[in-house]
Amino acid sequence: MKKMKHCDESGQILLLAAFAIGFMIVISTVMLNNIIYASNMASESSNDIDHFEISNIAQITQDASNAAYYNATTGNQFENDVYFNYLETYSQEISTLYAYRGFSFSLGNGTLNDAYFTKNGLITGRSNWTIIDNIDQTNKFTIEMVDTSKLSNSSDPFEIQAINQSGVPIWKMKLYDDGSNINVSVDDQTHIIGTSNSSIYLNIINNTPKDFHFATSTASETYRIDYFNSSNAMGLYSITGTLSDGRDFARERYKVINTTINIASSKNSINVSLPITVP
């Protein structure tokens, strides 16, 4: 009888142990469950800064920079103070808008630097790129280089091409420094347009300082304008004209400014550095 009672107690202990193990499994499962659910909710949350917000900031900052440039060039001369005053107001106002949403926003402007002819204006930017496509007629095409020290020699020249819709170049111009002179080569005819390191101004439509044959070469064609080896040239360009659909177009590059943006929430802080071409 005593032995029987001893067995009963062992059975109860075993049962309790089984219950305890089962209980622990249930608890751990529920906890894991919660973690998975919580992580799903976090990934679907849209309260924090996302790529959409960053792209919006990049776009609006570029717009602000362009508007500031046009504000600063209402006279003929570029007014540095007007440009930076506009950006200062922009910085304050956008910071206020973000503050109402619980974000800290700060905009830091560098200095306006001469731009390379690359896509983003920096030496590391894309060197071979299309300025504009589907051109019917170009009315103005000027290039101004104050600093010509970036020009390479004839083996790797800065080159501009007008290419028709079949992909055939219909006009080419190369610009290079042979060590003593700056040369421009159009349709395989080379002209000296200045001495090394002197500033140059080309009006390609009005044929200044040489005949560039641009209008005659591109007449009755729909074409695009491409830059090649554009990291070997620094300066200003301006192109205006009409597209094949009848709309007017304008492309200009004056300067490039390196802008830094910091946006921070209570959880994250993001720093973005944007090269902004002006205008």
Applying CB under 8 A, the residues found at the interface with other proteins are 9, 12, 15-16, 19-20, 22-23, 26-27, 29-30, 33-34, 36-37, 40-41, 44, 46, 52, 55-57, 59-60, 63-64, 67-68, 70-71, 82, 85-86, 89-90, 93-94, 96-97, 100, 249-251
| Spatial CA neighbour of 121 closest among 251, 262, 240 | 251
Q: In the complex with other proteins, which residue's Cβ is closer, 8 or 156?
A: 8
Q: In the complex with other proteins, which residue's Cβ is closer, 70 or 196?
A: 70
For the CB of residue 58, give the shortest distance to other proteins in the complex, in Å: 11
Q: In the complex with other proteins, which residue's Cβ is closer, 134 or 207?
A: 134
Q: In the complex with other proteins, which residue's Cβ is closer, 88 or 187?
A: 88
Question: Would you say 270 and 264 are in contact if contact means Cβ atoms under 8 Å apart?
Answer: yes
Radius of gyration, alpha carbons of the chain: 32
Cα–Cα dist 33/8, whole Å:
37
Which residue's structure tokens are 């731009």?
Answer: 115
Q: In the complex with other proteins, which residue's Cβ is closer, 232 or 277?
A: 277
Cα–Cα dist 147/247, whole Å:
34
Q: In the complex with other proteins, which residue's Cβ is closer, 12 or 271?
A: 12
Q: In the complex with other proteins, which residue's Cβ is closer, 188 or 245?
A: 245
For the CB of residue 136, give the shortest distance to other proteins in the complex, in Å: 16
- Whole-number Cα distances in Å, 26 to 33, 39, 45: 10, 20, 28
Structure tokens, 241? 């004209």
Amino acid identity of 73? T
| Spatial CA neighbour of 175 closest among 162, 199, 156, 195 | 156
Which long-range contacts does 271-276 make (Cβ < 8 Å, 24+ apart)?
272/54, 272/57, 272/58, 274/58, 274/61, 274/62, 275/120, 275/121, 275/122, 275/125, 276/61, 276/62, 276/65
Who contacts 217 (Cβ-Cβ below 8 Å, separation ≥6)? Answer: 162, 170, 171, 187
For the CB of residue 261, give the shortest distance to other proteins in the complex, in Å: 13
For the CB of residue 93, give the shortest distance to other proteins in the complex, in Å: 6
For the CB of residue 248, give the shortest distance to other proteins in the complex, in Å: 9
Residue 164, number of CB atoms within 10 A of its CB: 14
Q: In the complex with other proteins, which residue's Cβ is closer, 51 or 267?
A: 51
For the CB of residue 170, give the shortest distance to other proteins in the complex, in Å: 23
